Chains A and B, each alone.
Chain A
Amino acid sequence: MLSNIGCIRIMNAETKETAKSAHWKARKKKVLPGDEIADDVTLMRGHGTYVDSDSKLISSVAGHVCRINKLISVLPLKTRYNGEIGDIVVGRIVEVQSQQKRWKVDTNSRLDSILLLSSVNLPGGELRRKTTEDELMMRSFFAEGDLISAEVQSVFSDGSLSLHTRSLKYGKLGQGVLIRVSPSLIERRKTHTHNLPCGVHIILGNNGFIWICPQIDEGTESGGFAVNLDPVSFSDRETIARLRNCIMLLARQKMMLYDTSISYCYDISTEYQAS
């Protein structure tokens, strides 16, 4: 059933593509490494391309061509996460560096991201000064292995990301399920955190990490460090597990993930009993 829907949508995409013919301006043109994209020198080269000795634009990855005005880039199907400012990410703390007042976070990016002590909200108000005691207490805020949600604050020159959690929306994640998918499957939208109608809260990290947890009531967001460890009811856990399977299915069919697609998939899946 689910895969049928996938097929229909993919077929639609393909018929559209053939309608637009094989002209290189067609948005979803597929290329392989070494394929020539264009030899127009006025175009700007983006990610996934390089210029060869004859100043032709050549693709360096297998994927589809994406053109925005003069900028041509090739988006691969599967890749590491390339962070952009303002992205919402879910990551795992891998290192606490008290000396440098920072945490190292694994965000599926090619270098570990950095979360500075100065860019987290500590308990006790936004405008509190960070003292040396806070430095010593860093591990009690976030320890190795903790999952956090955060926003990309800036990108360093070497490509690593600087994160911040200076909002009540971000912070440590408590009980729930983490799913890892390819970052290119997450559709960029205005919001990436949703309370789905099925009664589950979901964070679609731009980096391909998806967090599903029981619904949080408005206004009581923890905003940091307190983690709710109350037992989760069986029905909630069942919903979360079903939603996880739905997302895994969509990801396997290479379907874009956003709140509507996930909700639809969930609704269809309710016809089937979990065994």
Chain B
Amino acid sequence: MARIELFSDEGFRCDGRRPHELRKMSCRLGTFEQADGSSYVEMGNTRVLATVYGPRETKSNRSRLLFDRAIINCEYSLATFSTPERRRKPRGDFRSIEITNNLKEVYESAILTELYPYSQIDIFLQVLQSDGSNYSACINAATLAIINAGIPIKDIVCACSAGIINDTPMVDLSYIEESMGSNAMLTVALLPKEKQILSMESSGRIHLEAMDSLVDTAINGCMDVNNIMKGTVLNYVME
């Protein structure tokens, strides 16, 4: 069987992009009325909805509330119809729990939680269509929803994935690249202004020598994503 050529000799990837090019990204703020903040992000065919509620008082886990800052509650779910093969349940598998915990840590350091004692901020993420780089799409969507909700955040947190295919680092991997070609993949979330990395997550084996170039590629991808997100937020503010 002929394998799909992930990276051609002419320097194109299987969907026609150059290694450093992102997929088409579009975002929208305020998709829901009743939530405090919401957003919709498309990165290529990966589509994510994010909703944010809070800061608010909760009835259920009052004992977990902190006296000096807000707690952040995340929920990541991958819709049953989002993948090529239908999934049994939308959440609860190992990967979802991992992403949920990562997201929580990212936003605990990015949001100025100390302004809101005894409160809770809920972030709900729903992947409607999964075509690779779900985690980075989720971070971008959650950031936009938080900005929409007017919650103080240090910077426009953005994320991008990168991987190595045929010894070439490339950004924003699609599902095919993620599943077939790349044995090394890295997702970086950062505060773009100070280029401070909030979270770095990798899967597969990365050679130490390739690590630096991979991180740089991912950071460059993040800055591109950041420009798109800035434009969206600016449009929203100017309305």
Contact = CB atoms under 8 A, between A and B. Distances in A.
B236 interface: yes
B192 A34 contact: yes
Q: Is the interface of A mostly helix, strand, loop or mixed?
A: loop
Interface string B134-148: 000000000000011
B5 interface: no
A60 interface: yes
Interface stretch (A72-80, A124-132, A170-178, A236-244): A72-80
Contacts of B193: 34
A205 to B, nearest CB: 17
Contacts of A110: 54-57, 116, 119
B236 A62 contact: yes
Q: Is the interface of B mostly helix, strand, loop or mixed?
A: loop
Interface stretch (B18-26, B98-106, B150-158, B199-207): B150-158
Contacts of B236: 62, 77
Nearest to A253: B239
Given A34-B192, A34-B193, A254 B151 contact: no
Nearest to A49: B152
B148 A78 contact: yes
Among A61, A62, A78, find the residue whose CB has the most chain B CB atoms closer than 10 A: A62
Nearest to B29: A62
B132 interface: no
Given A50-B152, A60-B112, A60-B154, A33 B192 contact: no
B157 to A, nearest CB: 9
Contacts, number: 79
A48 B152 CA distance: 6
A79 B193 CA distance: 24
A50 B55 contact: no
Contacts of A145: none
B117 A61 contact: no
A32 B54 CA distance: 20
A254 B151 CA distance: 19
B106 to A, nearest CB: 15
A158 interface: yes
B151 A111 contact: no
Contacts of A60: 112, 152-154
Contacts of B239: 254
A112 B236 CA distance: 29
Interface string A243-275: 000000000001000000000000000000000
Given A32-B237, A77-B150, 5 more contacts: A33-B152, A34-B191, A62-B150, A80-B36, A80-B56
